[in-house]
Chains A and B, each alone.
Chain A
Amino acid sequence: MKAQAVRKGLVEKIPVPERMFFFRSCVASNKYPGIETGAVDALKILGVEMVETDDQTCCGGFVTFANVAAPTASMPAVARNLSLAEERDLDVCVVCNGCWTFLNEFAHFMNGNQEVKKAINMMLGMMGRSFKGTSGVYHVAELFYRLKDCLTEKVAGSRPLKGLRVATHYGCHYLNSGKYTAIDDPFYPTFIEELVEIMGGTNVWYEANRECCGTGFSQVINNKEVSYDHTEMKLDSLQAVDPDFTVVICPYCFTQLDRMQQQLHYRRGKEYDLPVVHISQLVGLALGVPTKRLAFDAHMGGRAKLGQVLKHFD
Chain B
Amino acid sequence: MGIDHDLRVRIEDMFQDYAFAIGDDNVEAWPDFFTEDGAYRITTRESVQRGFRMALFSCTGIGQIRDRVTALRKANIFEPHNYNHILSRPRLVRQADGSIGGRTNFVVYRTMHDGPQSRFAVGCYRDVIVEDGGVPKLKERSVVLDSRRVDVLLVYPL
- Do these two chains interact? no
Using CB atoms and an 8 Å cutoff, list the residues of chain A in contact with chain B: none
